[in-house]
């Protein structure tokens, strides 16, 4: 395995790239990547996103920059190496550039996950702050579909300008596309875009079940990733397996495109990582399992997107004994990860679709008011 987590590439004939190596089964676990929610609010209303984003089920509360740095420093000292700054929409936070600088001093890899609307303005500053990679959520390059999926108007040109701004500033760009029935017809156009503007990495994500927008939405919009593979195979010339940071998450197939761009396909049918705390959960085995540790904007460490009983309070705005509180919370999380294991056959879309809806979390009333405004 190479340093970046890639399994050696499987040579294949041009136009028919399928990994020849068998599914890589993680056996040694380090630390998962961090997903740091800088803010709860967003300026798009993407149809498939839960209204709280990566955060707790509240909105409007957030740690200060110094408090956030305290949490991040403790996590870095505990061996976490990869951090993704997200939200809500992180570019809404005025001290984003300073937070990026702080994170780049602490971690070996820092990424920003954004809807891209503000990148054309701040890309040079992000590059100067040390940011290496931006992940832009982009589900279509056709304006009508884009507007419908994001509940926005006249924003796609600004997003595309931001992508070009990052490329011009020397920042690597990954496009995250959630494949659904509403946009699956757009996949060929997305491939055309990355081949015309790359090198860009296009990551195709299956629709993940969240309690909100709910089971019915998931059943109505879910598309098996096997449905999109024929087109990817036709357009690519080499394939490999990609293992997520720390071996936490689902191994993904990565396909090389002729211009140096690539396509990564995430398919929950290839298994996920779980731990002892997952036992007896009504959603076990869930679609994502344990793949990243979220740090919510209001200071919670969130291992599971479905179960608030597993959250650990790292810091609360205004805490006095912050270092002791944070270190103790991080240690508790690390101890939970020690029982991690990979389950190659567990989650199954057909089984989930036939089950009754299960809802373990609910957004607060002020979150729903903001989301529906």
Q: What is the mean pLDDT of residues 301-326?
A: 82
Widest CA span in the chain = 61
Q: What is the mean pLDDT of residues 323-346?
A: 90
Query: Does residue 132 surpass a pLDDT of 80?
Result: yes
Most confident of 6-20, 154-168, 349-363: 154-168
Contact 242, 256 (CB under 8 A): no
Query: Does residue 348 surpass a pLDDT of 60?
Result: yes
* Per-residue pLDDT band at 172 (split at 50, 70, 90): very high
Q: Where are the domains of the chain?
A: 33-372
Distance, in Å, from the CA atom of 134 to the CA atom of 124, rounded to the nearest integer, reads 12
Contact 232, 247 (CB under 8 A): no
Distance, in Å, from the CA atom of 10 to the CA atom of 96, rounded to the nearest integer, reads 40
- pTM for the complete prediction? 0.91
Weakest-pLDDT range from 52-61, 293-302, 310-319? 52-61
225-270 confidence digits (pLDDT tens)? 999 999 999 999 889 999 898 889 999 999 999 999 999 999 999 9
Contact 137, 155 (CB under 8 A): no
Contacts of 100 (CB under 8 A, 6+ apart): 85, 110, 112, 126, 129, 130, 131
37-47 confidence digits (pLDDT tens)? 999 888 888 88
Higher pLDDT, 223 or 42: 223
Q: What is the mean pLDDT of residues 329-352?
A: 90
Distance, in Å, from the CA atom of 18 to the CA atom of 339, rounded to the nearest integer, reads 33
Q: What is the mean pLDDT of residues 84-95?
A: 95
Average pLDDT, the chain: 88
Query: Does residue 133 surpass a pLDDT of 60?
Result: yes
* Per-residue pLDDT band at 5 (split at 50, 70, 90): very low
pLDDT at residue 45 in the model: 86
pLDDT at residue 356 in the model: 76
Homologous superfamily of the 33-372 domain (CATH)? Aldolase class I (3.20.20.70)
Query: Does residue 6 surpass a pLDDT of 60?
Result: no
pLDDT at residue 2 in the model: 35
* Per-residue pLDDT band at 316 (split at 50, 70, 90): confident
Contacts of 201 (CB under 8 A, 6+ apart): 172, 173, 174, 175, 194, 261, 262, 263, 264
Distance, in Å, from the CA atom of 46 to the CA atom of 221, rounded to the nearest integer, reads 14
Q: What is the mean pLDDT of residues 36-61?
A: 80
* Tokens 């036939």 found at: 354
pLDDT at residue 8 in the model: 32
Taken in order 265, 269, 275, 280, is the CA torsion positive or negative?
positive
Distance, in Å, from the CA atom of 329 to the CA atom of 337, rounded to the nearest integer, reads 13
């Amino acid at each position: 395995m190479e340093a970046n987590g890639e399994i050696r590439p499987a040579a294949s004939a041009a136009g028919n790239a399928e990994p020849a190596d068998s599914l890589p089964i993680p056996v040694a676990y380090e630390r998962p990547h961090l997903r740091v929610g800088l803010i709860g609010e967003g300026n798009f209303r993407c149809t498939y996103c839960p209204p709280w984003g990566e955060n707790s089920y509240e909105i409007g509360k957030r740690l200060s920059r110094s408090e956030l740095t305290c949490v991040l420093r403790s996590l870095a000292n505990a061996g976490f190496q990869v951090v993704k700054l997200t939200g809500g929409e992180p570019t809404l936070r005025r001290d984003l550039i300073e937070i990026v600088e702080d994170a780049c001093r602490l971690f070996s890899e820092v990424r920003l996950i954004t809807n891209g609307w503000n990148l054309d303005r701040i890309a040079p500053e992000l590059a100067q702050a040390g940011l290496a990679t931006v992940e832009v959520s982009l589900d279509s390059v056709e304006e009508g579909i884009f507007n419908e999926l994001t509940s926005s108007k006249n924003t796609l040109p600004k997003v595309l300008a931001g992508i070009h701004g990052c490329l011009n500033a020397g920042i690597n760009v990954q496009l995250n596309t959630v494949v659904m029935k509403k946009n699956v017809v757009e996949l060929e156009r997305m491939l055309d875009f990355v081949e015309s503007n790359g090198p860009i990495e296009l990551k195709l994500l299956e629709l993940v079940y969240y309690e909100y927008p709910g089971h019915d939405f998931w059943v109505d919009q879910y598309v098996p990733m096997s449905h999109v593979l024929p087109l990817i195979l036709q357009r690519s010339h080499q394939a490999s397996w990609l293992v997520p940071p720390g071996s936490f998450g689902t191994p993904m197939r990565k396909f090389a495109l002729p211009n140096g761009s690539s396509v990564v396909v995430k398919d929950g049918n290839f298994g996920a990582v779980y731990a002892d705390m997952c036992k007896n959960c009504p959603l076990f085995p869930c679609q994502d399992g344990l793949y990243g540790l979220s740090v919510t904007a209001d200071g919670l460490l969130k291992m599971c997107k479905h179960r608030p009983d597993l959250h650990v309070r790292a810091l609360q705005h205004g805490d006095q004994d912050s270092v002791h509180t944070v270190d103790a919370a991080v240690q508790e999380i690390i101890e939970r990860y020690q029982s991690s294991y990979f389950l190659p056959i567990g989650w199954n879309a057909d089984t989930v679709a036939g089950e009754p809806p299960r809802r373990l979390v609910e957004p607060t009333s002020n979150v729903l008011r903001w989301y529906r405004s």
